[in-house]
Chains A and B, each alone.
Chain A
Amino acid sequence: MPAATITPTELSPIDRKKLIPSSVLGVTVFVLTEMMFFGGLISAYLIVKAGNIMWPPPDQPRLPITLTAFNTLFLVGSGIMVYLSNKSLARGDNAASKKQLGVVILFGIVFVGIQGFEWMRMLGHGLTMTSSTYGSFFYMIIGCHALHVFGALAVLIGVFFKFSKPDFKHSSYWGIQVFWYFVVGVWPIIYILVYLS
């Protein structure tokens, strides 16, 4: 069959992988559902917030805006490093790519660590899951995001250790990259809506 008249269903398995690898497709579909999940959480938060005359409630502690802004830099930095790591991998420079992936993991761990520290302080100041709807939403939204970071970090660490192995497939790294971009991309939205507004 001439290539000019080819349709997507008639692609050979190799060409179909070139179109979009299965790992990337699978993770992309998962990310789309996750976007709906966070969209639902954020929507519920905005409606409850709009329904209150005073927000945050006067008897509840304020969130640490500056420290979290600083923390955001680590997460955004990790997103940039993933991009650079992929570029290195595409050039065939596996050693540089692995180093950059190491920095991504380090930044991710720092992000989660600072958030853990923040949570300890907030709990100490009396902001808990049951102290108010403000507290419930804070821990629910930020906690869900942190869980995603944890999950992604675990996979990234797995990929890091597979990097030097001969059976390492680039496509297995691409899948988790898509997920990490999601984790990084959704955070500034959460930060603006939960911390700043």
Chain B
Amino acid sequence: MADHLYSGLSIMKLKTITSVSIACFLLAMSQAEACPVCFQTNGEESRWAFYATTAFLTVLPLSMVGGAVIYLRKRFLRLKDELVN
């Protein structure tokens, strides 16, 4: 059996340390271009294409699933109205 937790253990302190560590990590981060193909010849345009398509492929599944959920919810509410009336 584990011992009792020590009284006064600061969970808040742990949270603060974690948050500050994450913030430091994010601030200290620099850009890494590991892909030898994507940025080889046409630098700036390639970079923007890469960013834009990354954003697109990130947003696309979220918007599709979100859209499907909203659509199904609307249909369900309409059906519920029909059942009530």
For residue B79, give the distance in angstroms from its CB to the closest CB of chain A.
6
B84 and A47 contact, CB distance less than 8 A:
no
Bound-complex Cα distance A46 to B53 (A)? 8
A16 to chain B, nearest CB (A): 9
Which residues from chain B contact A53 at a C-beta distance below 8 Å? 41-42
Interface residues of A in 1-46 (CB under 8 A from B): 3-4, 6, 8, 11, 15, 18-20, 28, 32, 35-36, 39-40, 42-43, 46
B38:A47 contact, CB within 8 angstroms: yes
**Across the interface, which residues of B come within 8 angstroms of A39, CB to CB?**
56-57, 60
**Residues on B with beta carbons closer than 8 Å to the beta carbon of A28:** 68
A-side interface residues, number (CB < 8 Å):
24
Interface of B is mostly: helix
B41 touches A47 (CB 8 A): no
The answer to whether A43 and B57 touch (CB under 8 A), given A19-B76, A49-B49, A51-B46, is yes
Q: Are B83 and A15 in contact (CB under 8 A)?
A: yes
**B72 in the interface, Cβ–Cβ < 8 Å?**
yes
Does A52 lie at the interface of the complex (its beta carbon under 8 Å from any beta carbon of B)?
A: yes
Q: How large is the interface on B (under 10, 10 to 19, 20 to 34, 35 or more residues)?
A: 20 to 34
**Is the C-beta of A50 less than 8 angstroms from some C-beta in chain B?**
yes
Residue of B41, B48, B61, B80 touching A52 (CB-CB under 8 A): B41
Write the chain A residue with the least CB distance to B43.
A51
A120 CB, nearest partner CB in chain B, Å? 32
- A4 near B80 with CB under 8 A, answer yes
Choose among A36, A43, A51 the residue that contacts B40 (Cβ–Cβ < 8 A). Answer: A51
Which residues between 44 and 72 of chain B lie within 8 Å of chain A, taking CB atoms?
A: 45-46, 48-50, 52-53, 56-57, 60-61, 64-65, 68, 72
Choose among B37, B53, B60, B79 the residue that contacts A18 (Cβ–Cβ < 8 A). B79
CA gap between A107 and B11 in the complex, in Å: 67
Whether A47 pairs with B79 at a CB distance below 8 angstroms is: no
Task: List residues of chain B with CB under 8 Å of any chain A CB.
Answer: 37-42, 45-46, 48-50, 52-53, 56-57, 60-61, 64-65, 68, 72, 75-76, 79-80, 83-84
Residues of A within 8 A of B (CB): 3-4, 6, 8, 11, 15, 18-20, 28, 32, 35-36, 39-40, 42-43, 46-47, 49-53
